Amino acid sequence: MKEEAGRIAAVLAALVLGMSLSCANNMDPGPPEAGRSMQVTVEGISFTMRYVPEGSFQRDGDSKNISIITKAYWMMETEVTQALYQKVIGYNPGNFKSDPQFLLPVEQVSWYDALEFCNALSLITGKEPVYTIMNRTPSGGSPISSADVAVNVNKNGYCLPTEMEWMWAAMGADKSVPPSTKGYDKKFAGYKDGAELGNYVWYGVNAESKTHPVRDRLPNELGLYDMSGNVLEWCWDWYNTTYKPGTLVNSPDPAPNGSTTHVIRGGSWKDPDTDCSIAFRKYSPPNAVSSDVGFRVVCR
């Protein structure tokens, strides 16, 4: 009954927006476990979310620097595709458009654009938007160059992952020996002894100066594709050059140290192999757009 009520609520929300919507939560049976899947379909465009359990992990080479995530979440299996972005927002800003099915990851989106997409996807699927976006410039269209943003983490809608949520998922969310002490040091998402980088990652050596369709390389332990390579991914966090020391619970802080840039993670089609490691961090202003930066979403 509860699942059926959810479907009805989603359809009603779509009708309010003047859209026809099919939203199916096709979950694997059994108790929640890492990598469990949930499929969502929006007007014929499907995407899969993967379950990421709560956990704790060492985030760098200092054994005292432990991050704790107290609430499990769902992460999109792939980077947001051009097909899904166009269905939700109404246009495709991507620089690369060689795939006839538009299954390339969307890029040329600012951090603000990613937040607006999250809100729109939340409304279409009957969820509560996480962000309040005010004083948007320009008033319509893309890219958004400036805006005032407020966040409500108690809402159930789609949002960008925090940097620590991204990192925990990228390393495979290994809870076998809490806290996980080795995942931060992986050469790339999905790495294990004998694994070949090019089988998992589109990067500067093999990508031929372009993006590639999602799901075209091997996934990591959770079934997540392109956590390393293809395009870099926006995170919610403001960027600081170093992590805060010690134990951090459900970071980040809302506005740390007056930072003017946001975290991007994962490496891209034009980066060297070192930039595709779990630990490597980059940053960019929230109004910047680039052909090597996209995003994926989570919901909690």
141-181 pLDDT per residue, tens: 889 999 999 999 999 999 999 999 999 999 999 888 788 88
User: What confidence category does residue 35 fall into, taking pLDDT thresholds of 50, 70 and 90?
Assistant: confident
Please say if the pLDDT value at position 31 is more than 50.
no
Residue type present at position 240: N
Distance in angstroms (rounded) separating the CA atoms of residues 104 and 230? 9
The reported pLDDT for the residue numbered 253 is 59
User: How many Å from the N-terminal Cα to the C-terminal Cα in the chain?
Assistant: 21
The reported pLDDT for the residue numbered 165 is 97
Distance in angstroms (rounded) separating the CA atoms of residues 20 and 18? 7
- pLDDT higher at 250 or 253: 250
> What does residue 98 show for φ and ψ, rounded to 5 degrees?
-80, -20
Question: Shortest CA distance to 230 belongs to which of 118, 137, 104, 85?
Answer: 104
Please say if the pLDDT value at position 131 is more than 60.
yes
Determine which of 7-21, 73-87, 160-174, 277-291 has the lowest per-residue pLDDT on average. 7-21
User: What confidence category does residue 15 fall into, taking pLDDT thresholds of 50, 70 and 90?
Assistant: very low
The reported pLDDT for the residue numbered 256 is 57
204-240 pLDDT tens trace: 999 999 999 999 999 999 999 999 999 999 999 999 8
The reported pLDDT for the residue numbered 181 is 86
Pairing of strands 37-42, 45-52: antiparallel
Determine which of 14-18, 26-30, 166-170, 258-262 has the lowest per-residue pLDDT on average. 14-18
Q: Which domains does the chain have, with CATH numbers?
A: 51-299 (3.90.1580.10)
Residues of the chain with pLDDT > 90, as a percent, come to: 75
Helices (H) and strands (E) in the chain, counts: 5, 14
Token pair 């779990």: residue: 278
- pLDDT higher at 255 or 137: 137
Token pair in block for residue 179: 């806290």
Question: Shortest CA distance to 213 belongs to which of 108, 103, 294, 292?
Answer: 103
pTM over 0.95? The answer is no
Q: Is the dihedral of CA 296, 195, 68, 286 positive or negative?
A: negative
- pLDDT higher at 257 or 31: 257
The reported pLDDT for the residue numbered 180 is 86
Say how many C-beta atoms besides its own lie within 10 A of residue 63's C-beta. 9
Distance in angstroms (rounded) separating the CA atoms of residues 168 and 254? 20
User: What confidence category does residue 254 fall into, taking pLDDT thresholds of 50, 70 and 90?
Assistant: low
- pLDDT higher at 150 or 255: 150
Determine which of 22-31, 49-58, 92-101 has the lowest per-residue pLDDT on average. 22-31
Question: Average pLDDT, whole number, for the chain?
Answer: 88
The reported pLDDT for the residue numbered 255 is 57
Average pLDDT over residues 44-62: 95
